[in-house]
């Protein structure tokens, strides 16, 4: 999340059961060209299945049972086990010996969860794409009507769940020439600790990383007049224009306040940008006007827009496939 100042108020944006049913091809998804995520989409069977999966996973990850998913807690351990089970059931392999990339913050042990889908091209599979989100949250916060659990549905169970769904899609369809890592970070709320650890580890081990996208708070749609989502660090690379080209529509846009709020360096993309010096950005649909419950006990699953999330997952698939399948590295850093 990002730490920002809005109208003199500091807004801290810092640092169920899983369905095994997959979905078919991108064309079957019927990704809409409408840039307003709140619009209805065709009631196809695979859309219904996808939305049901998103909703079920969201409801578990942001349930009171997980106690706000703070790093080192019993709740985040349950979240980690849930994600690992999802990866295993959907044939997503661990990148390391296990799914866990463990690290210490003093006496606290944190766990990033890292899944791998190998690319299908003999040469390009040696290059990697990372799709990530943080699955931790803050645990408890100020009491409201007797409730103290900050469930973190939008922040960032929403990003976690869409990354899980893309992992399931690519594991089934095997439509990626480059290899893909699906990375869910712990301890983002403690200052990007998990992503810092993983980025440094992968850099030391010589990972050939092409680009990285982090998904931060995508549980609610932007206004009807706005582009579907925005990318942080818009001018640092050509990623926005290339993703839109691959998607065949304008789904990723520019958020004027992003630079003012320093959003680029406030989320889990930033450690990868620093370590690898490659295009590494965050994509979000939260723009500080469309959700009132940041770090609040009312950031609950029942306040998420599941039609919006389903549409976002579907609309991003051709963009992600374009990124994974281009014969050359078309996404490049700009000269600043």
Residue 31 lies in a domain: yes
Residue 249 lies in a domain: yes
Residue 154 lies in a domain: yes
Query: Are the CB atoms for 268 and 134 separated by under 8 Å?
Result: yes
User: Concatenated DSSP letters for 193-234?
Assistant: HHHHHHHHHHHHTT--EEEEEEE---SS---TTS-SEEESSG
Per-residue model confidence as pLDDT tens digits over 296-308: 999 999 999 999 9
| 165 has pLDDT over 70 | yes
How many residues would you count in the chain?
336
Residue 333 lies in a domain: no
Q: Is 172 exposed, middle or buried (0-12, 13-18, 19+ CB in 10 A)?
A: middle
| 229 has pLDDT over 80 | yes
Residue 30 lies in a domain: yes
Residue 269 belongs to domain with CATH number? 3.40.630.10
| 29 has pLDDT over 80 | no
User: Concatenated DSSP letters for 252-304?
Assistant: EE--THHHHTTGGGGSTTHHHHHHH-S-EEEEES--SSS-S-TTSTT--GGGS
State the alpha helices, DSSP H only, in 20-117: 26-29, 45-61, 74-89
pLDDT of residue 336: 57
Residue 334 lies in a domain: no
Question: What does the angle CA 222 – CA 212 – CA 326 come to, to the nearest 5 degrees?
Answer: 100
Radius of gyration of the chain (CA): 18
Structural domains of the chain, count: 1
pLDDT of residue 10: 32
| 43 has pLDDT over 60 | no
| 44 has pLDDT over 60 | no
Residue 241 lies in a domain: yes
Question: What does the angle CA 219 – CA 187 – CA 181 come to, to the nearest 5 degrees?
Answer: 70
Residue 87 lies in a domain: yes
pLDDT of residue 209: 98
Instruction: Tell me the mean pLDDT in the region 94-111.
Output: 97
Residue with tokens 């958020």: 255
Instruction: Name which of 163, 167, 185 is nearest 76 in CA terms.
Output: 185
Q: What share of the chain is helix, strand, coil (3-state, %, to 5)?
A: 40, 20, 40
Instruction: Calculate the alpha carbon distances from 61 to 56, 58, 274, 300, 314 in Å.
Output: 9, 5, 30, 10, 21
DSSP 8-state secondary structure symbol assigned to residue 248: T
pLDDT of residue 1: 57
Query: Are the CB atoms for 334 and 264 separated by under 8 Å?
Result: no
Per-residue model confidence as pLDDT tens digits over 62-73: 999 999 999 999
Reply yes or no: is the peptide bond before residue 262 cis, omega within 30 of 0: no
C-alpha span between 169 and 175 (Å, rounded): 9
Per the structure, the complete domain to which residue 273 belongs is given by: 3-325
């Amino acid at each position: 999340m990002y730490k920002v100042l809005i109208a003199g108020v500091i807004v801290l944006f810092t640092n169920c059961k899983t369905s095994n049913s997959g979905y078919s091809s991108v064309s079957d998804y019927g990704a809409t060209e409408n840039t307003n995520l709140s619009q209805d989409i065709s009631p196809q069977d695979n859309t219904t299945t996808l939305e049901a999966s998103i909703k079920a996973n969201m409801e578990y990850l942001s349930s009171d049972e997980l106690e706000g998913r703070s790093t080192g807690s019993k709740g985040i351990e349950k979240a980690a086990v849930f994600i690992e089970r999802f990866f295993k059931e959907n044939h997503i392999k661990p990148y390391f010996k296990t799914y866990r990339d463990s690290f210490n913050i003093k006496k606290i042990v944190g766990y990033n969860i890292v899944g791998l889908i190998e690319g299908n091209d003999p040469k390009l599979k040696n290059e990697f794409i990372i799709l990530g989100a943080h699955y931790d949250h803050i645990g408890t916060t100020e009491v409201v009507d007797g409730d103290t659990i900050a469930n973190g549905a939008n922040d960032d169970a929403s990003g976690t769940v869409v990354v899980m769904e893309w992992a399931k899609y690519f594991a089934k369809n095997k439509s990626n020439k480059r290899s893909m890592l699906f990375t869910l970070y712990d301890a983002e709320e403690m200052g990007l600790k998990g992503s810092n650890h993983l980025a440094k580890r992968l850099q030391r081990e010589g990972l050939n990383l092409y680009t990285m996208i982090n998904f931060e708070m995508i549980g609610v749609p932007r206004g009807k007049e706005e582009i579907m989502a925005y990318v942080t660090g818009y001018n640092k690379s050509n990623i926005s224009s290339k993703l839109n080209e691959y998607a065949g529509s304008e789904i990723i846009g520019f958020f004027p306040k992003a630079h003012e709020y320093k959003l680029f360096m406030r989320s889990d993309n930033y450690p990868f940008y620093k370590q690898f010096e490659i295009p590494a950005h965050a994509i979000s649909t939260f723009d500080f006007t469309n959700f009132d419950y940041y770090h609040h006990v009312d950031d609950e699953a029942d306040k998420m827009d599941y039609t919006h999330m389903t549409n976002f997952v579907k609309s991003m698939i051709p963009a992600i496939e374009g990124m994974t399948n281009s014969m050359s590295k078309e996404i490049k850093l700009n000269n600043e």
